[in-house]
Amino acid sequence: MGEILILRAKYVVGDQDIDVTSYLTTQQSANYGAINFPVQQMDEDLRKKNMIVLEKDADPLKLTPPVLTLVYTDEAGAHHSLTKKLGEVVEIGERSWFGKFVQKPGDVLMDFGLTAAKGQFLFIFVMSWALVVLWSYKQWAFLQDQMDGNRLPLSIEDKFGTLGKYVAIFAEAIFGLSFVIEPPIQKLVERALGPTPFEPGWTVKFFFAFCAALTPVSSFFFNFLIWFTLVQTLVRLN
């Protein structure tokens, strides 16, 4: 990417065509790549240098006010033309990063802070998302290890509490269903990938990990419910 390049610039005042290309490039250099100035200011600067013959209140200028016309290329090299009159402002391009830092360091530091904050937020979001997925997988793997056949140990069911019992029944139903649907799925996977090291119950772990990847927020609360009502009791008893 390049910068704004002034190809032609002329200021028409009455019957005068004044080449002001150097004036614009000087403004651009002083403003670190950006061109931003009122046409009125340029008119006054040219008059101070005696480059304009007609007075400001001359009758010809009342009929045909001064006009600035310029042709330039933008950062991508595309050509543009622009016409500005007295009372208007020429505003083209942007200051370089160094120019922004020199002229308005607060803006640069603010942009840097916002970028860093966005990066930090994205990092926290990705880490939280990954942890929820891993938590879901590990939690269902733990429940699978606690299963006796397709049920949790009957000797400790009374220690789950009312809600915990329903959660335990739900977990038992999920694993019971997996034992029915898993064999045909296992065959399809082995046909596609060959022999796999998956243990019985792998569909449950992968299913809930997949759900956690799609809906991490709701899965967090779902996993917390299972942990609070069922898993922590099992861990304490073990």
- Tracing tokens 């190809």 back to the chain, one arrives at 7
Per-residue pLDDT of the chain (238 residues; tens, 9 = 90+): 347 788 899 999 988 889 999 998 888 877 777 888 899 999 999 999 989 888 888 888 888 889 999 998 887 788 888 899 988 988 887 765 544 545 455 555 566 667 777 888 888 888 989 999 999 999 988 888 877 655 565 445 566 777 878 888 888 888 888 778 777 777 777 777 767 666 767 788 888 999 999 998 898 999 999 888 888 888 777 6
Nearest to 167 by CA among 178, 157, 177: 157
Give the pLDDT score at 153.
56
pTM, to two decimals: 0.49
Give the pLDDT score at 198.
66
> In terms of residues, how long is the chain?
238
Q: Is there a contact between 157 and 165 (Cβ–Cβ < 8 Å)?
A: yes
Give the pLDDT score at 1.
36
Nearest to 92 by CA among 49, 38, 48, 36: 36
Q: Is there a contact between 135 and 223 (Cβ–Cβ < 8 Å)?
A: yes
Q: Is there a contact between 90 and 82 (Cβ–Cβ < 8 Å)?
A: yes
- Tracing tokens 């007075």 back to the chain, one arrives at 55
